[in-house]
């Protein structure tokens, strides 16, 4: 019996791909229309229709036309709510999806941008065992988190968008399968040695002689008098002190794929990822040399993202 | 799904659920005892306060005793928990109990479904137009509550704004509801027991004790509505007979129902044909105008021309009858004349003595004795009042010789006893007298407060003659109705003056409602298709029609929702129109071909239209790209040009 049901379900899925998980990926934007919105009564809807039947039989039995009219009215209102459930999704558009950055194993933040020309309330989106409920009015953005496992390109899963608006009696749903992939960065290893530095690195890095004036701050007891900004203090009630930023002399890390020859490639990637993360956290400059190409020294989030993406895309 | 329904209920959802329960209680309040309504509202209020400000749950140790109290209250009032009355009372109590344990979305859904059900139950006891509209409006809070259970919606700030969408939903549903109402096949006989007939309902009873009418005479609800074929009888002939009572035991008069005797002989010149629309009375007697010539279907005529239906009147009943107002009823004395003279022994000695003295005084002139009695009421210092002094064991003696005050029951009872004492066959008749003639609807509205009692005496050669002793005391009662008869200050405020007249005028709506909606029964449903030449509509036809109209309604609904909301770009629509025309002429726009290329190609292919097409192309391109907003004038010119573009078959 179960086997038969499963076969039947598989057949149905093949025949009606839009209805099911077999829906093919499609490019954005995706607009929901009547061909891909499905409606079934919810469990509550079925229970409520049983109640309506009881009311109908009661009204008929007592030949009470006022009660019958009321029951008909309630029934018709429930039937109309089916159309409203459809309208909650019809014409809804998934415009684009922006992916954040995440290393493998961490949830990846996706920003879905929906558009609807009129207000849609109580739209729900199932993504990764989580249901998000939100209204859509004009352009509405929704943040969801996608679990990740491996580095590299990850296709977006099929998302179920559904609604039981307005009374919870009917459930309208549709599958969204955006043809879009997100890049998952490699997971850095947990611990390990610092990168091997070329012998001349120390010499090339001289301590920074100059002290750069970073900001003015309030005088604190114990500040050296020569640091007081007299001119600026004259315009204020309190003494102002020049705050000096003394950058740590840090050497540039030249990270090289070939320097880790003794490991397999995933271990190398994990180690390089850790080094990249540490370098970025310490504010160092770093460069990356990979079989697929080199990235010259730099720092900052954009540089970091470029390096991590290059790592993620290694075969 | 499960996680969604087990989610805790939000504040707004709980407010609306509580409001729904309040609405249910309010709509049931007219037929619930106050000692139930007040505690229910109190419990509801406490629960609301508890959840809103204490965020606490109600303990089971509180719920169980409350439940027990509820069941006790129902059993205490009705004796059991089954049937319509106790069932409704129990359901309302349970609804309040449900709110006590409403914490999650699922609880609220169950509660709101149940609230819809109990709302319908409110119509079982009152199905007037106003009640139906009130109950329909009572659906709004449950609908709003169900709406508020959906997560991810915009929550409007004021509570009342939540109710508006439900109104729209009901309005949209109305046409389909009407169709379904017309077409749902009615049952010709109920599946299970008819409504509980033991229910208390004011109305004429088959016995009469002096002062027993007081409840009835202040009950302003409609009793029957009468429409006449031809002009209505004058006010002093609007006597509607219900019961003819002959048994007097010193306290009360009683009607004796004997099914086996044929109706008494009646000589009448002509009859008045009329139709009565009777409100449910839970009794079998059918009031008729004066003396009916025959009984309507499903009813029979008793000996004294009392019409008794085969089963109690549990719903609105329509019947058509012919009655005589000028007649001779039983002109020859019947075999059992002594029963109209029976008087209990040992009661009312002074009254009996008075009757006998009249007999001695007037000899065999019965009419003179009747006149003497009426003169006594007229000149003896009697007063008409709805709140007479209480009477003792010899009630008629007390009334005639001491208190001198009372209303129709007292007068008819005393008169009948006097007549019997004098040896004249006499009986008490109860029914309705008067009514309000609604000129707009051409019908007579008779209210329960128009209930009346009078007497009939048997006079040789004339048969039974109606004598209304109340008229001797207070003629206004007969000429202007019950309201005019009441001395000032005795009627409640809502029965007096302009308000009463407003209510009388408003009654026409109730009549339409009764005729159109409440009276639409299996019989009338079968003749639904008569205008279309189908004399008898079968149940299967009805079901088929119902299914067809549901499908039709769904199609209309789908057409409505499938209609694209976003207006299409008018410029592009115009271009598309042109494309269609060109396609018919053999020039099909290729995929990926821009409008400029396409129209240039078309101009090459169709040299005859070259000028036009190039002009159209420039027009389109200008509209499309020259301005942000297409100029309305220019747009209309383009649309016109496309419309006027001639389609000519290309001879190949």
Taking a C-beta distance cutoff of 8 angstroms, is the pair B181, A65 a contact? yes
Q: Reply yes or no on whether the pLDDT at B45 is more than 70.
A: yes
Tell me what pLDDT residue B552 has.
92
Q: What stretches of B514-631 show up as alpha helix (H) in DSSP?
A: 522-526, 539-562, 570-584, 595-605, 610-621
- DSSP states of B367-382 as a string? HHHHHHHHHHHHHTT-
| Any B CB within 8 A of A168 CB | yes
Task: Work out the burial of residue B260: count CB atoms within 10 Å of its CB; fewer than 13 is exposed, 13-18 middle, 19 or more buried.
Answer: exposed
Nearest CA in chain B to A119: B154
> Does the annotation count B55 as an active-site position?
no
User: Does residue B597 contact residue B620 with C-beta atoms inside 8 Å?
Assistant: no
Q: What mean pLDDT comes out for the span B8-34?
A: 91
Which pair of structure tokens corresponds to residue B282? 């839970």
Per the model's pLDDT, the better-predicted residue between B275 and B506 turns out to be: B275
- Say yes or no to pLDDT of A206 above 60: no
Predicted confidence band of residue A205 (pLDDT cuts 50, 70, 90): very low
**Section B287-291 average pLDDT:** 91
Confidence band (pLDDT; 50, 70, 90) for B270? confident
pLDDT digit string, tens, across residues A23-80: 677 777 788 888 788 899 999 999 999 999 999 998 888 888 899 999 999 999 999 9
Report which of A63, A61, A51 is spatially closest to residue B191, judged by C-alpha positions. Answer: A61
Tell me if B454 sits within 8 A of B466, measured CB to CB.
yes
Average pLDDT for B193-213 = 63
B152–A122 C-beta distance less than 8 A = yes
Q: What is the mean pLDDT of chain B?
A: 84
pLDDT tens for each residue of B392-432: 888 889 899 988 888 888 899 999 999 999 999 999 999 99
3-state secondary structure of B643: helix
Contact A66 B187 (CB under 8 A): no
pLDDT value, residue B281: 82
User: In this predicted structure, which of A92-96, B191-195, B385-389 has the lowest mean pLDDT?
Assistant: B191-195
Is the pLDDT reported for residue A296 higher than 70? yes
Q: Characterise A129 by phi-psi region: left (phi > 0), alpha (psi -120 to 50), beta (else).
A: left
User: Which phi and psi angles does B319 have, rounded to 5°?
Assistant: -145, 150
| pLDDT (0 to 100) of residue B24 | 95
Q: Tell me, what's the pLDDT at A12?
A: 74
Residue with tokens 């109908």, as numbered in its chain:
A56
pLDDT band at A113 (very low <50, low <70, confident <90, very high): very high
Find, in chain B, the residue whose alpha carbon is nearest to that of A62: B194
Q: Which residue has the higher pLDDT, B584 or B137?
A: B137
Of the listed ranges B248-252, B443-447, B476-480, the least confidently predicted one is B476-480
Asked whether the beta carbons of residue A73 and residue B173 sit closer than 8 angstroms, the reply is: yes
Report the chain A residue with the minimal C-alpha distance to residue B561: A87
Kindly give the residue spans of alpha helices, DSSP state H, lying in B463-496: 469-473, 475-480, 482-485
The answer to whether residue A165 neighbours chain B at the CB level (below 8 Å) is yes
CA distance B616 to A152: 52
B7 vs A161 pLDDT, higher one: A161
Task: State the pLDDT at residue A250.
Answer: 66
A86 at interface of B, judged by CB pairs closer than 8 A:
yes
DSSP string, B287-325: -EESEESSPPTTEEE-TTS-EEESS---S-EEEEEEEES
pLDDT at B528 over 70: yes
pLDDT in tens, B552-581: 988 998 888 777 655 556 777 788 888 888
- Min Cα distance B135 → chain A (Å) is 8
Task: Give B25 to chain A, closest Cα distance, Å.
Answer: 17
pLDDT greater than 70 at residue B329: yes
Instruction: Tell me how far apart the alpha carbons of residues B514 and B508 are, in angstroms, rounded to a whole number.
Output: 10
pLDDT of residue A124: 93
Predicted pLDDT at B547: 93
Prior bond of A29 cis (ω within 30°): yes
User: Pairing mode, if any, of strands A108-127 and B222-228?
Assistant: unpaired
Query: What's the pLDDT score for residue A222?
Result: 73
Mean pLDDT over B168-185 rounds to 91
Burial of A191 (0-12, 13-18, 19+ CB in 10 A): exposed
Beta partners for residue B444, in sequence order:
B226, B437
Asked if B268 contacts B327 with a C-beta cutoff of 8 angstroms, the reply is yes
Which pLDDT does position B33 carry in this prediction?
87
- Best B12, B85, B169, B528 member to test A by mutation, with max A CBs in 10 Å, is B169
Q: Name the residue ranges covered by the structural domains of chain B.
A: 2-152, 209-520, 570-644
| pLDDT for B199 | 44
- The residue ranges of every structural domain in chain A are 24-184, 201-205+250-312, 212-245
Check residues B625 and A82 and name the one with the higher pLDDT: A82
Q: Between chain A and chain B, how many beta carbons pairs sit less than 8 Å apart?
A: 172
The pLDDT of B125-153, averaged and rounded, is 91
In chain B, what percentage of residues exceed pLDDT 90?
Answer: 26
The closest CB to that of A65, out of B113, B518, B566, belongs to B518
Q: What is the DSSP string of A223-257?
A: --GGGB-HHHHHTSSS-EEEEEE-----PPEEEEG
Do B117 and A86 count as a contact with CB atoms less than 8 A apart?
Answer: no
Shortest Cα–Cα distance, B634 to chain A (Å)? 27
Give the mean pLDDT of B47-52: 90
Indicate the residue of A54, A64, A168 with minimum beta-carbon distance to B127: A64
Predicted confidence (pLDDT) per residue in A224-260, tens digit: 777 777 777 887 777 777 776 555 556 778 788 887 7
Of the candidates A57, A118, A122, the beta carbon closest to that of B151 is on A122
- A186-200, B187-201, B215-229, B412-426: least confident range: B187-201
């Amino acid at each position: 019996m179960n086997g038969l049901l499963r076969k039947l379900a598989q057949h149905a899925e093949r025949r009606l791909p839009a209805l099911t998980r077999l829906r093919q990926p499609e490019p954005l934007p995706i607009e929901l229309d009547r061909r891909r919105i499905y409606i079934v009564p919810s469990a509550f809807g079925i229970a409520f229709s049983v109640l309506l039947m009881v009311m109908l039989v009661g009204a008929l039995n007592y030949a009470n036309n006022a009660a019958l009219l009321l029951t008909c009215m309630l029934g018709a209102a429930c039937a109309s709510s089916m159309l409203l459930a459809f309208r909650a999704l019809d014409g809804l558009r998934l415009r684009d999806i922006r992916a954040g950055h995440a290393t493998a194993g961490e949830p990846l933040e996706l920003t879905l941008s929906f558009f609807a020309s009129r207000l849609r309330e109580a739209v729900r989106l199932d993504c990764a065992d989580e249901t998000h409920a939100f209204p859509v009015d004009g352009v509405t953005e929704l943040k969801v988190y996608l679990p990740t496992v491996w580095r590299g390109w990850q296709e977006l899963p099929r998302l179920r968008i559904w609604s039981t608006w307005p009374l919870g009696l009917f459930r309208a749903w549709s599958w969204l399968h955006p043809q879009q992939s997100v890049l998952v960065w490699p997971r850095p290893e947990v611990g390990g040695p610092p990168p091997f530095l070329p012998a001349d690195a120390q010499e090339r890095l001289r301590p920074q002689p100059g002290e750069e004036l970073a900001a003015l701050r309030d005088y604190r007891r114990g500040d050296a008098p020569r640091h007081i900004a007299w001119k600026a203090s004259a315009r204020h009630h309190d003494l102002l002190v020049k705050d000096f930023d003394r950058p740590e002399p840090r050497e540039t890390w030249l990270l090289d794929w070939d320097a880790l020859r003794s490991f397999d490639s995933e271990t190398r990637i994990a180690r390089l990822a850790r080094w990249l993360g540490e370098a970025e956290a310490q504010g160092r400059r770093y460069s990356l040399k990979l079989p697929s190409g080199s990235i010259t020294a730099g720092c900052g989030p954009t540089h970091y993202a470029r390096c991590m993406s290059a790592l993620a895309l290694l075969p | 799904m499960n996680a969604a329904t087990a989610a805790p209920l939000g504040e707004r959802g709980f407010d609306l659920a509580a409001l729904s329960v309040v609405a249910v209680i309010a709509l049931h309040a007219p037929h619930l005892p106050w000692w139930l309504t007040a505690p229910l509202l109190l419990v509801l209020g406490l629960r609301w306060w508890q959840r809103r400000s204490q965020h606490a749950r109600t303990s089971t140790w509180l719920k169980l005793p409350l439940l027990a109290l509820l069941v006790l209250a129902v059993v205490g009032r009705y004796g059991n928990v089954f049937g319509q009355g106790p069932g409704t009372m129990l359901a309302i109590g349970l609804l309040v109990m449900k709110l006590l344990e409403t914490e999650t979305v699922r609880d609220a859904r169950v509660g709101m479904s149940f609230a819809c059900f109990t709302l319908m139950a409110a119509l079982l006891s009152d199905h007037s137009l106003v009640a139906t509209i009130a109950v329909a409006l009572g659906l709004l809070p449950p609908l709003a509550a169900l709406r508020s259970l959906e997560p991810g919606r915009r929550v409007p700030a004021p509570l009342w704004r939540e109710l508006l969408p439900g109104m729209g939903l009901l309005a949209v549903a109305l046409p389909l509801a009407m169709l379904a109402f017309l077409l749902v096949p009615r049952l010709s006989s109920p599946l299970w027991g008819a409504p509980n007939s033991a229910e208390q309902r004011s109305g004429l009873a088959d016995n009469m004790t002096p002062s027993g009418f007081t409840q009835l005479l202040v009950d302003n609800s409609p009793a029957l509505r009468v429409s006449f074929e031809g002009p209505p009888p004058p006010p002093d002939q609007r006597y509607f007979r219900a019961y003819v009572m002959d048994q007097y035991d010193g306290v009360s008069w009683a009607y004796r129902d004997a099914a086996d005797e044929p109706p008494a002989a009646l000589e009448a010149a002509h009859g008045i044909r009329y139709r009565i629309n009777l409100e449910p009375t839970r009794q079998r007697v059918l009031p008729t105008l004066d003396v009916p010539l025959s009984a309507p279907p499903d009813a029979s005529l008793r000996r004294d021309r009392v019409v008794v239906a085969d089963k109690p009147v549990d719903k609105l009943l329509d019947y058509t009858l012919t009655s005589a107002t000028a007649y001779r009823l039983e002109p020859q004395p019947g075999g059992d004349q002594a029963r109209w003279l029976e008087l209990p022994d040992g009661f009312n000695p002074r009254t009996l003595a008075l009757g006998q003295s009249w007999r001695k005084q007037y000899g065999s002139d019965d009419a003179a004795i009747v006149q003497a009695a009426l003169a006594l009421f007229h000149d003896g210092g009697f007063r008409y009042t709805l709140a007479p002094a209480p009477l003792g064991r010899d009630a008629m003696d007390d009334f005639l010789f001491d208190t001198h005050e009372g209303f129709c029951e007292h007068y008819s009872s005393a008169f009948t006893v006097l007549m019997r004492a004098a040896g004249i066959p006499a009986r008490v008749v109860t029914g309705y007298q008067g009514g309000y003639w609604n000129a707009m609807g051409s019908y007579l509205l008779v209210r329960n407060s128009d209930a009346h009692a009078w007497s009939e005496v048997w006079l040789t050669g004339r048969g039974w003659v109606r004598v209304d002793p109340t008229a001797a005391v207070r003629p206004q009662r007969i000429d202007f109705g019950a309201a005019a008869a009441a001395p000032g200050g005795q009627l409640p405020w809502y029965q007096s003056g302009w308000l009463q007249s407003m209510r009388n005028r408003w009654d026409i709506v109730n009549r339409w409602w009764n005729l159109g909606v409440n009276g639409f029964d299996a019989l009338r449903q079968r003749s639904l298709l008569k205008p279309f030449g189908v004399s008898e509509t079968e149940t299967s036809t009805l079901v088929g029609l119902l299914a067809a109209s549901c499908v039709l309604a769904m199609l209309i609904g789908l057409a409505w929702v499938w209609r694209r909301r976003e207006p299409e770009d008018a410029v592009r629509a115009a271009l598309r129109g042109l494309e269609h025309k060109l396609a018919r002429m053999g020039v099909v726009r290729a995929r990926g071909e821009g409008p400029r290329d396409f129209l240039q190609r078309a101009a090459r292919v169709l040299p005859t239209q070259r000028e036009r097409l190039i002009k159209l192309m420039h027009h389109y391109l200008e509209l499309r790209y020259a301005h942000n907003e297409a100029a309305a004038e220019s747009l209309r010119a383009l649309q016109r040009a496309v419309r006027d573009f001639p389609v000519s078959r290309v001879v190949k």
